[in-house]
Chain A
């Protein structure tokens, strides 16, 4: 069980590296989808474990919600948004990919150093999950600031949220209601951001956030 969760949390981290190394919008939406799928598998495993050991079905319900929202609905929403705005092949990032991958490796190192000396509840497997998910949060944040397109920033935000969710899920877990609330929040946030992308596209004729600096009367 714990080896499995170790492996899944590691896969979530690796998928965020895949995200950073992908070039096109459609490929990073796919990367996000894969990451959510891994998260859903982890939640499913934990849910089944909880159901049979403690008789609580809440994590399993959460898993269903993750599959519906993060694996199916939000990627589709992003894809339709991306198809509706006019798209030209442009250079999408401020830093080139090898450098951003190396910086992300540096971020992992940073979290490792921050968490290594923490004792107390953070021991063994828990520290491992914590390290992986905190790195995912930082990588999501980094992804947000390196991409020029608005959709890239939405995906970065979602990945950041995935990281926090993993952290909560694999440690002691949050109350069920709060987890659900976060998911609904996320859905609203993504819908609003999708609208915003349309608006940006209408006003500036591109979703390149560099152009937002120009003033328009």
Chain B
């Protein structure tokens, strides 16, 4: 019963909150340019409209093309299940589930790149190859960062890391964690096609990465992909929010339901704060030339690696 409740809350939060995060980022950007910008709920409208529309599928497309959006959405939601939104939920956690979550995301990405190649359009192929390059560059940094967190808490399960974070000294003030936070923030920007790596607002074919892969999609399939992309973004924001900002320490109630509701509210605030941070980073940086992306990846890796070394020097 508890597990069913957990899955329901988790999926509900992710699916309902994810498009809002996109809306907030767009709104912040619009304000900075003295525009009014689209309404916060724009992505919800877009999704509901796209869901009503027909799909146009190329004659040369194989089954991969139609299956990929579903696989992408399902894998992303599955990965999201491993990152509990608050510590007050009882998730199904086991050793190594964060690594599993990362590679489940990689599976979804694999199918998206296949789908990009499937129709044989030039842009799709270009987008796929770029996506793969970025993914392979960012993966080492992400794993080093995550494993260092695992070292700190003696476990590679998200739930255990979150619990450990609530004990002892404030977690973020540990010098290593600031480095890891920065490393994962860079990875978040790269994985979710944000500005230093990819420009989410552009439709200029030569520069786009994520958009190029889904150029051939329309209607229902496009809606699924857009939703999955925003869920993936929320996944990384949740990782940052819950592993590095364990503010649930401040909630002291005995009644579990109230604690849960307070925890969800706190989670919402944390996500909004991090969304603001992402939007600000996006405002103050420029899109990198594609061949400069390795520099960014190397910087992220160096940060994660330094965090890893600090663990051995200072200990916890």
Contact = CB atoms under 8 A, between A and B. Distances in A.
B313 A14 contact: no
B245 to A, nearest CB: 17
Contacts of A97: 294-295, 298
B173 A101 contact: no
Interface stretch (B47-55, B60-68, B256-264, B300-308): B300-308
A62 B118 CA distance: 65
A112 B312 contact: yes
Nearest to A21: B299
Contacts of B8: none
A169 to B, nearest CB: 17
B206 interface: no
Contacts of A3: 173, 175
A17 B178 contact: no
Contacts of B306: 10, 13-14, 17, 105, 108
Interface residues on A, range: 20 to 34
A207 B98 CA distance: 50
A98 interface: yes
Contacts of B4: none
Contact of A131 (B178, B297, B305, B313): B313
7 contacts: A10-B306, A17-B299, A98-B295, A101-B295, A101-B298, A105-B302, A105-B306
Interface string B272-316: 000000000000000000000011011101110110011011100
Interface of B: 173, 175, 178-179, 294-295, 297-299, 301-303, 305-306, 309-310, 312-314
A142 B309 CA distance: 20
B169 to A, nearest CB: 8
A105 B301 contact: yes
A7 B294 contact: no
A102 interface: yes
A79 interface: no
A131 B313 CA distance: 9
A158 interface: no
B175 A6 contact: yes
Given A14-B306, A112-B313, A7 B301 contact: no
Complex A-B, nearest 9 residue pairs according to Cβ-Cβ distance, in ascending order: A98-B298, A101-B298, A97-B295, A10-B175, A98-B294, A105-B305, A6-B175, A101-B302, A105-B302
Nearest to A8: B175
Given A7-B173, A98-B298, 4 more contacts: A104-B302, A105-B301, A112-B313, A116-B313
A65 interface: no
Contact of B309 (A6, A14, A102, A108): A108
B309 A109 contact: yes
A127 B314 CA distance: 9
B39 to A, nearest CB: 39
A17 B186 CA distance: 15
A112 B311 CA distance: 11
A6 B297 CA distance: 25
A17 to B, nearest CB: 5
A7 B295 contact: no
B295 A10 contact: no
Nearest to A4: B173
A128 interface: yes
Contacts of A21: 295, 298-299
B301 A14 contact: no
A96 B309 CA distance: 24
A127 B313 CA distance: 8
Nearest to A7: B175
Contact of A102 (B175, B298, B312): B298
Contacts of A98: 294-295, 297-298
A111 B60 CA distance: 57
A191 to B, nearest CB: 33
Interface string A155-174: 00000000000000000000
A87 to B, nearest CB: 21
Interface string A95-127: 001100110110011001000100000000001
A14 B305 CA distance: 11
Interface in A1-39: 3, 6-7, 10, 13-14, 17, 21
Contacts of A109: 309
A7 B314 CA distance: 12
Contacts of A17: 299, 302-303, 306
A201 B303 CA distance: 37
Given A112-B309, A112-B313, A127-B313, A7 B178 contact: yes
A51 to B, nearest CB: 25
Most buried by A among B179, B309, B313: B313
